Structure 1
Amino acid sequence: MPELYQDTVLVIGSGIAGLSAALELAYLGLSVTVLTRADDAEDCNTHWAQGGIVYRGENDSAELLAQDIMAAGHGLNNPDYVAYLAARGPDYVRRLMMQQTRVDFDRNHKQQWLTCQEGAHSVARILHHKDATGQAIHKVLLAALRQHRNVSLMTHHTAIDLITPNHHSLDRRSVYQPTRVVGAYVLNQQNDQVMRMLAKHTVLASGGYGQLFLHSSNTAGARGDGIAMANRAGARIINTEYVQFHPTTLHKKGAPNFLISEALRGAGARLINAKGEFFMQHYSPEWQDLAPRDVVSRSIFKEMQRLNNDCVYLDLASYLQADAIKAKFPGIYQFCLQHDIDITRQPIPVTPAAHYACGGVWVNQHGMTDIQQLYAVGEVACTGLHGANRLASTSLLEGVVTGLDAARAIADNTDRVDFYDKQLIPPWQMNSMETADDVLIQHDVHRIQTIMWNYVGISRSSERLQRALRELRRLEDDIEQFYRNNRVSDALIGLRNAVRTAIIVTLAAWSNSHSIGCHYREE
């Protein structure tokens, strides 16, 4: 692989948003390179999404979907984008997943698409593939991408920083020009070489930052890489205080925080405390167990505090036959069984965990950031769709819509953009050939996660947030020095990005003194 690489579009990330963008660009005749830091492109949050994707059910309408999205987001959503996605989204799903590709969504006895209802949705409008919808979608899109000659997929490649001429160019007069992105410096993990990857357009599709917290449902790559890179490039970032904590992840010593889908509650499961008592009616009389995620997460948190327990329980076995549970939720059933929990016979111990970032890099309706030639799609971006909280199963839909729209905007603008003069972008300069101590990296990551969980988690206060800022800023000084004194690696890049993103999130939380949605201030 040459040290200098050039393609028309560079997509950083291989989840649903990145794949949707790359496929559409390829269909439109553009050449695309897709990067992922993972060993396997399937290693992303999309692949592990158990819940479904919003479609359109019977007696449903764009207006009704928009109302539900706005209600879940506590009215802080961008109403124009909500209306746009509610009107266009289902058609995008049909075109990409039922016509261009074939995703095997569940069907009823008439072989019609089976739509289900989830928390805070007014009607049944969610498409599923059992309890592994994300995996079903991701496998189909990834297979289509691998077959397309216009797309190159590179695993084991970690983006270090976006290349902006007014910062990186050898022509110092570039500082007078508007900021634009012309590619990225990228680490090839397999040979430890850093490449200049130049492109006319760069698309951030790197996902969220759930791994900043001690308990998270996210995969290892959700460490805020895209947010941090965009911030260093000067992009506008908004709404990062709104971190959605999924109310139900498996709580078992020695087991990961495996996601226990909201679809279980949609199928009738009830939350009970350690005494075996229902409790959601005390916190949300209207919605009870089907309340929006922020309400359920806080309710569980308060119930755990009230009884001094470290979890609550989700009882599905009392409301669904064993055969139906195994058929409808095979992935959850098998995973829990591996950890000695039979969900057909006993309640599941659950606790909240960081799940979804409602904020991110500001983009317009076409996925354009406020930096020229830089786009952002999916969870790393903020269209304003979610407002202060995300409605269940809208994330996969948003990934499709933002990905396709960004691709079309890029195709419309490609002829007006030239490649930047590659002679003006210098090769990456290694500061040191020393190898960073993995123990120190892991220790610092754990410090960030602990600070964020304790001080910037489900329940926040001014004093906790101020302490978090002090500790994170000191830690960032140490990490920056550590970064510059050692050879760059994927783990070191992730650590640097994690602390930068943690500070961005904490500053946003500290600046917003109003409790709303998934941002809860005890004051």
Structure 2
Amino acid sequence: MTQHCTDVLIIGAGLAGMATALSLPPHWRVALLCKGAAQECASAWAQGGIAAVIDPDDSIDAHVADTLVAGAGLCDEAAVRAIVEQAPAAIGWLVEHGVPFTRENGGGLHLTREGGHGCRRIVHAADATGQAVHTALLQACRERPNIALHEHTSALELLTEGAAPRCTGALVQLPGGALQRWHAAHTVLATGGLGQVYPYTTNPATATGDGVAMAWRAGCRVADLEFMQFHPTALQVNGRAAGLVSEALRGEGALLRLPDGTRFMPAHDARAELAPRDIVARAIWSEMARHGLPFVHLDISHRPRPWLQAHFPAIMALCAAHGIDIATQPIPVAPCAHYACGGVLAGIDGSTDVQDLRAIGEVARTGLHGANRLASNSLLECVVMGRAAAQAIAQQPAAAPLPQPVILPAQPPGETAALETASVETAAVARQLRQLMHDCVGIERSEQGLAHALQRISTLRESLPPAASHALRNQLDVCWLMASAAAARRESCGAHSFAAAL
């Protein structure tokens, strides 16, 4: 097997990965891996914005307090404060890299409000903040001669050595399908989320939990995987999630209604539409179940069309593409899998249990989110962690000696046909797994359902054919970890809604 050597290997090219790459010393060799195309990541799809204390009437203490409330008492307050305090500097860093945030007429940053926030503190670029940030940083990465961007290149397994494991890189699959061992002095997991283990999700197709599974197998602890956040309002078209409808709409006055026009959120929470996401998602779910509905309505038609076009052009275009004019019609919405609050146990600088391996962004569990992520804290975490990881890495040696080559056995004759057969089989297993997660490890969990999920996932893991894809192996490992964590937490908390056996 051929080998490749670099100073820093960053697995994932979303906001966290690019923030790390751009913050490393310019003379270091950096390999930035994209599992798919560069634009195919959750960061680029994010609509809402980035939470930061900018308004003079706001405060760090208030931002921390809102985060702790949303996290249902399970946040690490020290981690929350450390990240929130760096938010203004993170926004300044993004501005320096050319991110075109929406401005007030006087030139200052325009701030909007989202559910769970006590005031306006969301810096945004209209309603396509992720796209604006991703475009600016991707261009900056492409202009850096020390950063090599590798699209359609997947990490399959982390390489480790020693009894107390040290990460030395990753086994990588190149665009043509060939495998290569990539060695690095420092490896950074920035692989994003795991929404694709559910049938309905806002996540891109690449979000299959690879980073969590690889890190766990390499010796890292994971935590809080029971806290899968379901976004309350995904656009529903023909029984599927056709796109995300930003929480910022509710921040600007959109109301949730039943098809007959009845507003229901005040009956579920005093904060009504501005309650944290887990509360709104469960409220919608319960109303859909009670009335036998495939969706509810999100209505912002009381706002004038020019205002909507100025503030939510991307959402207007998304809905219009499906025949919905949000200036005159309500939007059909339902909850779907959105954000993993847990992940690989990591410090603010991404440090993990495995030496020379860091985990940043959604794949990491820093304690910022606790049991439920506060809106627009995730892009903030990506920037803060990416910059902190780069700073910590830069204080270490840049290069590591290349390990001795490892010779793998040649592929036996007839193996290609076996791989094709296994591909068909594993696609069927993946479909079964997604439905199982939806039914048993979804918005509402039960003791019986989780026990069934664990038994079924264990059986699938044991019977997986040797030629099965690494992606499916990762999904099975992640689903088993999620179901195990959910079964172990025997009370409802945040995004985890648990009903004990009767």
**Aligned pair partner of 2:378 in 395, 416, 438:** 395
Task: Map 1:49-88; keep pairs closer than 5 Å.
Answer: 49-58=46-55, 59-88=57-86
Report the counterpart of residue 12 of structure 2 in structure 1.
13
Name the aligned partner's letter for residue 32 of structure 2: V
How many Å apart are 1:255 and its aligned residue? 5.5
> Partner of 2:404: helix, strand, or coil?
helix
Retained in 2: the 8 A contact 1:16–1:138?
Answer: yes
Alignment of 1:111-260 (within 5 A): 111-166=107-162, 177-190=163-176, 192-253=177-238, 256-260=241-245
How far residue 429 of structure 1 moved from its aligned partner, in angstroms, is 6.2
Q: Greater shift after overlay, 306-315 or 384-393? A: 306-315
Counterpart amino acid of residue 274 in structure 2: L
Q: CA RMSD in A?
A: 1.5
Tell me: CA distance 1:426–1:402, structure 2 relative to 1, closer, same or farther (3 Å): farther
Q: Any idea what SS the aligned residue of 2:445 has?
A: coil
Separation of aligned partners in 1, 2:168 and 2:401: 7
Whole-angstrom distance in 2 between the partners of 1:461 and 1:130: 40
Partner letter of residue 496 of structure 2? H
Amino acid at match of 2:20: A
CA drift at 1:93: 2.1
| 1:137/1:82 CA distance change after superposition, 3 Å | same
Partners of 1:57 and 1:123 within 8 A in 2: no
Match of 1:289 in 2: 273
Deviates further, 348-357 or 309-318 = 309-318
TM-score (norm 1): 0.92
Find the residue that maps to 1:6 and give its secondary structure: strand
- Give the structure 2 partner of residue 30 of structure 1: 28
- Residue identity matched to 1:291: A
- 8 Å contact from structure 2 (residues 13, 38) kept in 1: yes
Letter in 2 for 1:500: D
Secondary structure at 1:413's aligned position in 2? coil
Residues in 2 aligned to 1:219 and 1:382: alpha-carbon distance in whole angstroms: 20
- Rounded to whole Å, the distance in 2 between the matches of 1:473 and 1:283 is 37
What code does the residue aligned with 2:283 have? Answer: S
Report if aligned partners of 1:310, 1:351 keep a CA contact under 8 Å in 2. yes
Using the TM superposition, give the Cα deviation of residue 476 of structure 1 relative to its aligned residue in structure 2, in angstroms: 1.4
TM-score with structure 2 length normalisation?
A: 0.96
CA distance 1:428–1:394, shift in 2 (3 Å): farther
2:309 alignment counterpart:
326
| Aligned pairs (5 A) from 1:309-388 | 309-318=293-302, 320-388=303-371
CA distance in structure 2 between the aligned counterparts of 1:478 and 1:277, rounded to whole angstroms = 49
Q: Counterpart of 1:102?
A: 98
Q: Figure out how many residues of one structure are paired with residues of the other and give that number.
A: 495
Instruction: Tell me the CA shift for residue 48 of structure 1.
Output: 0.4
Partner amino acid for 1:305? A
The structure-2 alpha-carbon separation of the partners of 1:430 and 1:50, relative to structure 1 and needing over 3 Å to count, comes to: farther
Q: Contact conserved, 1:280 with 1:299, CA < 8 A, in 2?
A: yes
| Distance in 1 of aligned mates of 2:269 and 2:276 | 9
Q: Distance in 2 between matches of 1:307 and 1:515?
A: 24
Does structure 1 residue 514 correspond to structure 2 residue 498? no
Q: Give the drift of 1:262.
A: 0.4
Displacement of 1:427 in angstroms is 4.9
Q: Distance in 2 between matches of 1:485 and 1:138?
A: 35
Q: What is the match of residue 419 of structure 1?
A: 400
- Contact 1:255–1:339, Cα closer than 8 Å, also in 2: no
Moved over 2 A (4+): 254-257, 424-442
Q: CA deviation at 1:485?
A: 3.2
> Do the aligned partners of 2:127 and 2:246 also contact (CA within 8 Å) in 1?
yes
Identity of aligned residues (%): 39
- The farther-off stretch of 144-153 and 441-450 is 441-450
Q: Distance in 1 between matches of 2:381 and 2:429?
A: 33
Note if contact 1:217-1:249 (Cα within 8 Å) is conserved in structure 2.
yes
Deviation for aligned residue 1:420: 4.2
Quick one: structure 1 residues 323 and 512, their matched pair in 2 at CA, closer, same or farther if it must change by over 3 Å? same
Q: Distance in 2 between matches of 1:449 and 1:257?
A: 17
Check whether the contact 2:5–2:402 (CA below 8 A) recurs between aligned residues. no
Structure 1 gap ranges (5+): 167-176, 487-491
- The letter for the 2-side match of 1:512 is R
Q: Distance in 2 between matches of 1:189 and 1:500?
A: 25
Please list every run of 5 or more consecutive structure 2 residues that lacks an aligned counterpart in the other structure: none
Aligned residues of 1:199 and 1:419 also touching (Cα < 8 A): yes
One-letter amino acid of the structure 2 residue matched with residue 228 of structure 1? A
Counterpart Cα distance in 2 of 1:271 and 1:135:
27
SS of the residue corresponding to residue 33 of structure 1 reads: strand
Tell me by how many angstroms 1:256 deviates. Answer: 3.8
**In structure 2, C-alpha distance between the alignment counterparts of 1:255 and 1:466, rounded to whole Å:** 27
Aligned-partner residue type, residue 294 of structure 2: D
The amino acid across from 1:503 in the alignment is: W
Counterpart contact for 2:189–2:359, Cα < 8 Å: yes
